[in-house]
Structure 1
Amino acid sequence: MYTIPAGLSHDQDLVQRIEKLNAIGIALSAESDMPRLMEMILVGAKVITRADGGTLYTVADDKSLHFEIVRTSSLGINMGGTTKRAVQFKAIALYHRDGRPNNERVVAYSALNNETVNLADVYEDNGAGFDFTGPRMFDERMNYRTRSMLSVPMVNHEGKTVGVIQLINKQGGQNGDVIAFEDDDIHLVKSLASQGAVALTNKRLIDDLKALFDSFVKTIATGIDEKSPYTGGHCKRVPVLTLALADAASQADGALESFTLTEKERYSLEVASWLHDCGKLVTPVHVVDKATKLETIYDRITLIDTRFELLKRDAEIVMLKQLLETGLEGADAEGAVRNYHRELEDLNAERDFIRHCNKGVESMAPELKERVKAIAKRTWCNSDGETVPFFSEDELNNLLIQYGTLNADERQIINDHIVITNKMLKSMKFPRDMENVPEYAGSHHERMDGKGYPLGLTREEMSIPARVMAIADVFEALTARDRPYKDAKKLSESLSILGKMKQQNHIDPDLFDLFIEEKVYLPYAREFMDPELIDIDEPFEIPGYPFDME
């Protein structure tokens, strides 16, 4: 018989244990860490039954029971849960190799049949024919005596067994003897097992939904990267840099001392960094990938080359006609040939010049634009026999692009991706603790001086995480080696450009200083940049950075 603690009646003792059960149930509903949750269930079961030992098992793939938490107070055994000591025991199969249920093991029997098993003495009270080879081996090795045992299945609201609580050796007889588990113990543990099953199921459901959401987010990012071979990897690299700088900022002193980043806020920032370019899903590929000024679905420089070849052919025809029809001889013939070759040289030079302009690698100075316009005055004869301008109006306008390869309309299309990003993200029903995702993701093209887009926000109107992502997006673009319109820059050059952007009030000055001081750039560079481009590993004289050379 169980000896009730001195000064308490049976009812008072039961009330105390029920109160402990209620307290455990309340704690379970608030716990989000799975190992700690399982530990609370087992330790709680031990406390309310005064069991010396216990094990919590979980069902894995409906095929086996995994040891999650193991405790034996008298032996000082503490494995699993928050102990950081892994449970070394092998999983228990629920079925034999031939498919028969493993009803010989008590814990497997409980799981398979949703039945509670209560044994006063495992070695003597074994009419069910259970196999206690495992407990015997444990007892011999540890100089222990397993006696009373209680196995209670953890059944969730769907009637599915998600685990088993097994308790060993109830303490409470005279002189601390081991006694059998009583009906009150069974009722209390069943109640706890039911609450625990619901808590575990809810936690797994939350984890599964989070895993599904994460995979969906990364699928979108992968789709964006795969859409263009020239920006492939951008959506995967920006999160790495964003989180690295955000983590550094959350630990910084000085101007950023008040900035903190909770686990949930960090997760929101991670999601935002994966989705920051989701609007590019609707951006035309030929605009995203536009490597030259004349490129549309294809690079129209080939058409220009063909026209130059036609003009050279026409020049040759003119020369030959002069020689054949007018009978030029001697010096006159040589002059016609020289004129022809001079025309070829001019055409080849103009063709090479247009090819160079088409790449958009340098700013178009006024004299360069004038030369393009002069070439545009040429004409050629098309397949219909019509004499037409050498360049179409659209071709000429594109060749005159001041910077890069995008014309004003195309640049607006590119810029609109952030508008679409905002529209897409604001249409999503984020939970309350993730409601800042649209702001984080949708502000990475804003500037501290309010000259960015799409909203023209100033530094004071942007959150620190949004400012972090703005720096990450720029630095990734500077160092990327897969852009069609530029070569990957060296690390020193990229940092210098970033420093100038600080001076121009483009990026956040405090975050830039931290980026340099803590060398946030260096691990990223070592992972994603070509080794030959990593030309520094220490801070140097960077524009906008107050580096003390002494």
Structure 2
Amino acid sequence: MKKNDKLFSRLEQLNVIGASLSKEHDTHRLIEAILVASKTITRADGGTLYLLTADRSALRFEIMRTDSLNISMGGTTGQPVTFPDLPLINSKGQPNTSMVAACAAIQGRTINIADAYMEEGFDFSGTRAFDEQTGYRSQSFLTVPMVNHEDELIGVLQLINAFDPVKREVISFSAADQSLAESLASQAAIALTNRQLIDQLEQLFESFINLINLAIDEKSPYTGGHCQRVPELTMMLAEAVEATTTGPLAAFAMTTADKHELKIAGLLHDCGKVTTPVHVVDKATKLQTLFDRIHLVDTRFEVLKRDAEIAALRQQLALRTKTDASAEVRVQNALAEQLRVLDADRDFLRQANIGSESMAASDQQRVRTIGTERQWRNVDGVQTEFLTAEEMENLTIRSGTLTQKERETINYHIVATNKMLEQLPWPKHLKRVPEYAGGHHERMDGKGYPKGLTREQMSIQARIMGIADIFEALTARDRPYKNGMKLSQAMKILADFKKNGHIDPDLFDIFVKQGVYQQYAERFLNPEQVDAVNEAELFM
């Protein structure tokens, strides 16, 4: 091949490399691709890519390759580069131009060295020490500053030992090599800057999401943990589904971008709770608003007891002239019985005020009886029913601590979530975030909310999030009205949800068979919650 043909071929190769760099989305792979491409196009045996530190005071070893020594550090290898940073200012406070990479960065020029051992003006003591330790011979160096489209230095590309494949020997880097390396370094700097900018924007976006969750957390400690745990469980189940090779979900797969999209949806799935009133979110007892009104009920009982004691004393005074001891005993016994009944009713209402999984109908009726048949004289001196209609409504709540109206207020958070998310100008790779996040209260049978979607109308990701949301809520130990549920009980409830069309049956099967619930329990549940689960019973 003629010399011009070779150069043209390398230029074509440069164009292909430049195009491929612009398509790489992972920073580590991008850095690796830059170094590998630079080595390939210049036929270098080794190379190092340095990036400028955040404070712009030094060059950090980001990736290093030496083919003949089989050295591969940084990038996607998982093997960190162990060399210290190269400072741009020396111990005397002067520019560190004795180090070739630092000099190229400081002066913004390419440095092409034929033989490091023969070159004067640079400190190659570290290079010599490396060579002595490895038996290597570092000879030709090509050090190129990486400057982006804003004329800003972001790093340095250093190539070592150009190799002549015909003569089978190390040679100097040619002018063509330098020109190609400089062109590639420029393209790489732009690609890397763009990638870093995108990464920074994504980090900023996630920070805003975490800021919303922090606001919810600060607003109510009972929901902050939920906002963090649901995304974790969502990703655990999604990865288990992806790993499944048999069954109806065997074809399910996610790219890195898909996983990021689902993670963002998980983090945002309850963002609408910023609109939910605190006294509803934190309602630990049935009579709680800004404070627990059971204490007002207690006060009424004290008034009734006082009235009973006063009535008894009046009866005793009326008997004083007759000196009827047996009659006084009867009055005392009657008072004691009245006080006993009042204390029993007060203890009952205190217990009724605490939310439970299910309140018996007989207990609900007892609340109504106490509320309507007992009378007390209020602060205005008016004889009235012992409990107000609103208090009876709260104290007869069958499950939990919320009235129907309060449940609707809580449920509105998903409507608010949808409104908030659907107004954002989502980029293409995050377009499905509103659908994933907004569907976690839908049911497979179409009886969920807010849209009443059926299984066929929902994505697998939204169905995954639905299971994660329910399981976290069942086992959460930081809710105001209940302790964390035992693992076996939570799994039994999920199995019932599968049977009645609440959750996706195929996803539930994977949730159980892949041991996702066990992995989650080990990470997030208290040890006393984690009991044995009979998996066979879950499929009966």
TM range (shorter): over 0.9
Asked if the contact 1:222–1:235 (Cα under 8 Å) also holds between the matched residues in 2, the reply is no
Query: In structure 1, which of residues 99, 102, 117 is the aligned counterpart of residue 96 of structure 2?
Result: 102
Tell me the equivalent position of 1:374. 369
Q: Determine helix, strand or coil for the equivalent of 2:116.
A: coil
The corresponding residue for 1:120 is: 114
1:522 alignment partner in structure 2: 518
Shift of the alpha carbon at 1:15? Answer: 1.5
Q: Say yes or no: does 1:298 pair with 2:294.
A: no
Aligned to 1:245: 237
Change (3 A) 1:374 1:419: same
Q: 1:283 aligns with which of 276, 279, 283?
A: 276
- Check whether the contact 2:48–2:63 (CA below 8 A) recurs between aligned residues: yes
Residue 125 of structure 1, CA deviation = 4.3
Cα deviation, residue 144, structure 1: 4.1
Q: Structure 1 residue 13: deviation in Å?
A: 2.7
The amino acid of 2:216's aligned partner reads I
Match of 2:328 among 307, 315, 333: 333
| Alpha-carbon offset, residue 483 of structure 1 | 1.7
Check if 1:266 corresponds to 2:262: no
In the superposition, the TM-score normalised over structure 2's length comes to: 0.93
Aligned length: 535
Q: Which amino acid aligns with 1:382?
A: N
**Alpha-carbon offset, residue 110 of structure 1:** 0.5
Question: C-alpha displacement at 1:143, in angstroms?
Answer: 4.0
1:180/1:255 Cα in 2 relative to 1: closer, same or farther (>3 Å)? closer
1:19 is aligned to 12
Distance 2:410 2:72 in 1: 58
Equivalent residue number for residue 50 of structure 1: 43
Contact 1:173 1:179 (8 Å CA) reproduced? no
1:4 aligns to what? none
Deviation, 1:140, is: 3.5
Which residue, out of 227, 234, 254, partners 2:226? 234
1:83: Cα distance to partner?
4.4
Post-superposition shift, 1:199? Answer: 1.1
Distance 1:250 1:420 in 2: 31
Partner residue, 1:159: 151
Shift of 1:172: 4.2
After superposition, the Cα gap between the structure-2 partners of 1:169 and 1:245, relative to the gap in structure 1 and judged at 3 Å, is: closer
Structure 2 counterpart of 1:361? 356
Shift of the 537–399 alpha-carbon distance from structure 1 to 2, 3 Å rule, reads closer
Paired position in structure 2 for 1:63: 57
How far apart are the structure 2 equivalents of 1:337 and 1:538?
Answer: 58
Following superposition, the deviation at residue 232 of structure 1 comes to 4.0
Please give the secondary structure, in 2, of the residue aligned with 1:428: coil
Find 1:183's aligned residue among 168, 175, 182: 175
Cα deviation for residue 122 of structure 1 reads 3.0
Counterpart of 1:322 (choices 315, 318, 321) is 315
Determine the structure 2 residue equivalent to 1:350.
345
SS of match in other structure, 1:359: coil
SS in 2 for 1:230: helix
**C-alpha spacing 1:237/1:130, structure 2 compared with 1 (3 Å):** same
Residue equivalent to 2:207: 215
State the 1:176 CA deviation: 4.7
- How many angstroms apart in 2 are the aligned matches of 1:231 and 1:55? 48
Residue 85 (structure 2) aligns with: 91
Contact 1:120 1:181 in 2 (8 A): yes
**Residues 381/42 of structure 1: CA separation in 2 closer, same or farther (3 Å cut):** same
Alpha-carbon distance, 1:373 to partner: 2.4
Query: Can you list the C-alpha shifts for 1:165-190, whole angstroms capped at 9, x where unaligned?
Result: 12233344984554433333322221
Mapped contact 2:488–2:533 kept (Cα < 8 A): no
For the residues of structure 2 that align with 1:339 and 1:112, how far apart are their CA atoms? 99
CA deviation map 1:14-63 (0-9, x unaligned): 22221111111111111123233223222322333333332222112212
Residue 460 of structure 1 and its aligned partner are, at CA, apart by 1.2
Cα gap change, 1:265 to 1:89, in 2 (>3 Å): same
**Distance of aligned partners of 1:261 and 1:17 in 2 relative to their CA distance in 1, 3 Å threshold:** closer
Q: Distance in 1 between matches of 2:335 and 2:51?
A: 89
In the alignment, what sits opposite 2:404? 408
8 Å CA contact 1:225–1:234 kept in 2: the answer is no
After superposition, the Cα gap between the structure-2 partners of 1:113 and 1:374, relative to the gap in structure 1 and judged at 3 Å, is: same
Q: CA deviation at 1:314?
A: 0.5
What is the rounded CA distance, in whole Å, between the counterparts of 1:199 and 1:413 in structure 2?
48
Paired residue for 1:477?
473
Q: Secondary structure at the match of 2:535?
A: coil
How far the C-alpha of 1:410 sits from its partner, in A, is 0.7
Residue 311 of structure 1 and its aligned partner are, at CA, apart by 0.5
Distance 1:125 1:402, change over 3 A: closer
Percent identity, please: 52
In 2, distance between residues paired with 1:491 and 1:247? Answer: 21
Amino acid aligned to 1:224: I
The reply on whether 1:81 has 2:81 as its aligned counterpart is: no
> Are residues 47 and 519 of structure 1, via their aligned partners in 2, closer, same or farther at CA, if it must alter by over 3 Å?
closer
Query: Given the superposition, is the C-alpha separation of residues 69 and 337 from structure 1 closer, same or farther in structure 2, using an over 3 Å criterion?
Result: closer
What displacement does 1:197 show? 0.6
37 and 458 in structure 1: CA distance in 2 versus 1, 3 angstrom threshold: same
Aligned-partner residue type, residue 458 of structure 1? T
Q: 1:388 to 1:133 in 2, by over 3 A?
A: same
After the TM superposition, which residues 125-140 of structure 1 pair with which residues of structure 2 at under 5 Å, given as runs? 125-126=119-120, 129-140=121-132
Worse overlay, 162-171 or 187-196: 162-171
Residue 34 of structure 2 corresponds to 41
Could you tell me how far apart the structure 2 residues matched to 1:219 and 1:146 are?
51
> How many Å separate the matches in 2 of 1:430 and 1:470?
22
2:185 is matched with which residue: 193, 218, 223? Answer: 193
Matches of 1:343 and 1:174, distance apart in 2:
111
- Asked whether the equivalents of residues 355 and 482 of structure 2 are also in contact (C-alpha less than 8 Å), the reply is no
1:328-372 per-residue CA deviation (whole Å, 9 max, x = no partner) reads 622222222222222112211221222222223254444333322
Conservation of the 8 A alpha-carbon contact between 1:232 and 1:482: no
Q: AA paired with 2:213?
A: A
Over residues 427-463 of structure 1, what are the superposed CA-to-partner deviations in whole Å (9 max), with x where a residue is unaligned? 2222112111111111111111111111111111111
Structure 1 residues 493 and 15: alpha-carbon distance in aligned structure 2, compared to 1, 3 A threshold: same
| CA RMSD, 1 decimal | 2.2
* Ranges in structure 1 where 5+ consecutive residues have no aligned partner: 1-6
In the alignment, the residues of structure 1 paired with residue 497 and residue 370 of structure 2 have an alpha-carbon distance, to the nearest angstrom, of 37
Q: Distance in 2 between matches of 1:275 and 1:503?
A: 29
User: Is it true that 1:32 corresponds to 2:28 in the alignment?
Assistant: no
Return the offset for 1:497: 1.1
Shift of 1:500: 1.2
Q: Which amino acid aligns with 1:18?
A: L
Q: Which residue of 1 aligns with 2:160?
A: 168
Distance of aligned partners of 1:139 and 1:497 in 2 relative to their CA distance in 1, 3 Å threshold = closer
Partner of residue 451, structure 1: 447
For residues 506 and 105 of structure 1, the distance between their equivalents in structure 2, rounded to whole angstroms, comes to 66
Q: CA deviation at 1:282?
A: 1.4
Match of 1:3 in 2: none
Indicate whether 1:489 and 2:485 are aligned.
Answer: yes
Which residue number in structure 2 is paired with residue 311 of structure 1? 304
Q: Distance in 2 between matches of 1:83 and 1:287?
A: 51
